[in-house]
Structure 1
Amino acid sequence: MERRRSTPDVLAGAIFMVIGGAFAVGSLGYELGTPLRMGPGAFPMLVGAIVAALGLAIVVKGLVAGEAITFGSIPWRAIGAIVLAVVFFGTTVRGLGFVPTCAVTALLTALASTRVRLLTAVAVAAGLTVAATLIFVVGLQLRIPLWGPWLGF
């Protein structure tokens, strides 16, 4: 039984290794600190090392247990909805505020799938909006207005 190498896996893994390595090397320009008192370079170093390690694992998998890959049709609805959601968030978060922008963005991304029903998408959007507000505005104390000036708040 002959094993085939998966060229897409090897190339993707190599790209991950290059990007992760670049982040790790770039973080050396900042103070790393100690595990209890991390400096500004600690997080990029950690993320870069993890991304590079995942890239190495993908390369090894592509070389050892490669398999033929078949691609289906391109999900244009999903691509369009997600790109629209990201552009919408970036252009309206200051004017509409965090809560409505996050809700619409989450709704658009949930509706990217043809298998998601409207009620499920609304529930997911509501849950993600509450979670994002708690994490970013309450927990991390980002100075983002909850309701923007476009809404009269």
Structure 2
Amino acid sequence: MQIKSRKDFVSGLMFMGFGAAFSLGAFNYTVGNAARMGPGYFPMLLGALLAGMGAFVLLGSFRSQRADGGRIGAIAWKPLLYIVGANLAFGVLLGGVPSLGIPAMGLIAAIFAAVIISSMAGSRYVFRGSLILAVILAIGSYLTFVMGLSLQFQVWPTFITG
């Protein structure tokens, strides 16, 4: 068998690797069974599903009809760093880092930071559009998680709420 699409082959390997890692990591928690699911059941199931889909993509790489072999391009570092940075900013702003003296800024500030930073990953950045999206996501998250589900976590920075 010969690999006809390198992109599909590498993508399939990546999906299989992440899926296997999540499935194996889920066994650090109680998995349970379908009738009595533990906290590790759903991540284990999603990881297995991702690994299975990766296997289909990998197998498809052997029968692809690509003329160029599906060349793999360069890594897009700018979007990668902005998306990872947005996730880190969200986590730090939502929960703070007490050991570094960084206070928790709450859900609203974390959403605004994550949306604005991740919007910079695109080829065209429009600050006004990012703000509109951040407002919509902040209102929707507040209504869903705080009002609808009654989850208890910090919504506003401590210097506002006291």
Q: Output the TM-score relative to the length of structure 2.
A: 0.70
Q: Which amino acid aligns with 2:132?
A: A
In structure 2, distance between residues paired with 1:4 and 1:52: 19
Match of 2:99 in 1: none
Q: Which amino acid aligns with 1:107?
A: I
Secondary structure of 1:33's partner?
Answer: coil
Q: Kindly tell me: are residues 150 and 69 of structure 1, through their superposed partners in 2, closer, same or farther at Cα, counting changes over 3 Å?
A: farther
Instruction: Name stretches of at least 5 consecutive residues in structure 2 with no aligned partner.
Output: 96-103
Match of 2:10 in 1: 11
Match of 2:50 in 1: 51
Per-residue deviation at 1:147? 0.7
Structure 1 position 85 matched with structure 2 position 94: no
Match of 1:33 in 2: 33
Q: Which amino acid aligns with 1:93?
A: L
Q: Aligned ranges for residues 136-147 of structure 1 at < 5 Å? A: 136-147=145-156
In structure 2, distance between residues paired with 1:21 and 1:81: 26
Per-residue deviation at 1:69? 2.5
Q: Which amino acid aligns with 1:45?
A: M
Higher share of residues assigned helix: 1
> RMSD of aligned C-alpha atoms?
3.0
The alignment of Structure 1 onto Structure 2 pairs a total of residues equal to: 149
- Structure 1 stretches of 4+ moved >6 Å: none
In structure 2, distance between residues paired with 1:23 and 1:71: 27
Instruction: Name stretches of at least 5 consecutive residues in structure 1 with no aligned partner.
Output: none
Per-residue deviation at 1:61? 1.8
In structure 1, distance between residues paired with 2:121 and 2:31: 42
Residue-by-residue CA offset, 1:65-99 (whole Å, 9 max, x unaligned)? 163225368362x3443333223222222321111
Residues 98 and 145 of structure 1 are in contact (CA less than 8 Å); yes or no, is this contact kept in structure 2?
yes
Q: Which amino acid aligns with 2:73?
A: F
Q: Which amino acid aligns with 2:16?
A: M
* Of 3-12 and 114-123, the range deviating more from structure 2: 3-12
Give the fraction of aligned pairs with identical amino acids, expressed as a percent.
Answer: 26
In structure 2, distance between residues paired with 1:96 and 1:18: 35
